[in-house]
Amino acid sequence: MPLLEIKELTKNFGGLAAVSNVNIALEENQLVGLIGPNGAGKTTLFNLITGVYEPSEGDVLLEVDGQSQRLNGKKPYAIADLGLSRTFQNIRLFKDLTVLDNVLIAMNSKNKEGFFSSVLRLPTFYNKEEALREEALQLLTIFDLQNKAE
């Protein structure tokens, strides 16, 4: 079962098909690129996958805990809670923070610590913070950016 599967995805705006019958199956640990000229529908496709737009036709399926979940109709925050989110073309990094801190900010939705744990700085807060830091460093390593972390 693919981690992310897109089946016959189409988005029409009036009489214009911005995305038409797209099929993609992405496996775990697979890294792919999407290229094309301006106006080809790349951003529209990402908006469909992440819930910004709802498809006119087709399905977006994400494997979560061994089960295929249909993402159509879900809000972007609900899709992000499932582990799928996006960045935007006009990315605005926090220039006064380190690369590692910018990655950690992007991972904020993965931090499920409660209000009291965070305010009181309970051990679970520090454990989760360290686990996220290690995961962020692993991501930087994948992209050969570990030497830019600080």
Boundaries of every domain in the chain: 4-81, 99-148
What topology does CATH give the domain 4-81?
Answer: Rossmann fold (3.40.50)
| Residue 84 clears pLDDT 70, i.e. is over it | yes
Q: What is the pLDDT of residue 122?
A: 80
Q: What is the pLDDT of residue 90?
A: 65
In tens, the pLDDT along 60-82 reads 999 999 999 999 999 998 998 88
Tens of pLDDT, residues 4-42:
999 999 999 998 999 999 999 999 888 889 999 999 999
pTM of full prediction above 0.75: no
| Residues in CB range of 47: below 8 A, 6 or more apart | 53
- H or E element that contains 125: helix 123-142
Q: What angle separates helix 123-142 from helix 99-106, to the nearest 10 degrees?
A: 110
108/130: higher pLDDT: 130
